[in-house]
């Protein structure tokens, strides 16, 4: 029996069209560099990667400021709790019970072994 964790796809609240475009461009430049293996292509990729990091940072910062300002507004306080509840639902512990190993180091799967 193997212990596995299933990764769920989580929607990023800060992701927008600008971020998507910059990341798409970065991936394209990376692909070009992998094909060509030229120094010039590597420089273009590095510049694109730096730009993508900057755009992602700014998008995250903007979303955090929006959420912080919403906390002050009484009309949006319930929305914050709704978002928090949704985030908890999006990240459930999908593994079920954790894998337990017995004295001999083998994975225990039956109730009797778990109680011991």
pTM of the model: 0.57
Collapsing DSSP to helix, strand or coil, 107 comes out as strand
Per-residue confidence in pLDDT tens, the chain, 116 aa: 444 444 445 567 788 899 999 999 999 999 999 998 899 999 999 999 999 999 999 999 998 888 777 777 777 767 777 777 877 776 665 544 556 666 677 776 666 665 55
- CB within 8 A of 55, min separation 6: which ones? 18, 19, 22
**C-alpha distances out from residue 17 to 8, 26, 45, 63, Å:** 22, 14, 20, 14
Domain ranges of the chain: 17-115
Q: Where are the alpha helices (DSSP H) in 1-116?
A: 17-36, 39-72, 77-90, 111-115
Using only C-alpha atoms, what is the Rg of the chain? 23
């Amino acid at each position: 029996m193997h212990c596995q964790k299933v990764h769920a796809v989580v929607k990023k609240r800060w992701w927008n069209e600008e971020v998507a475009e910059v990341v798409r461009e970065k991936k394209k430049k990376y692909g070009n560099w992998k094909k060509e293996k030229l120094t010039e292509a590597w420089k273009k990729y590095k510049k694109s990667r730096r730009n993508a990091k900057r755009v992602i940072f700014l998008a995250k910062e903007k979303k955090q400021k929006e959420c912080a300002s919403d906390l002050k507004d009484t009309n949006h306080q319930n929305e914050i709790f709704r978002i928090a509840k949704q985030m908890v639902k999006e990240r459930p512990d999908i593994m079920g019970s954790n894998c337990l190993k017995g004295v001999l180091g083998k994975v225990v799967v039956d109730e009797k072994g778990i109680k011991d």
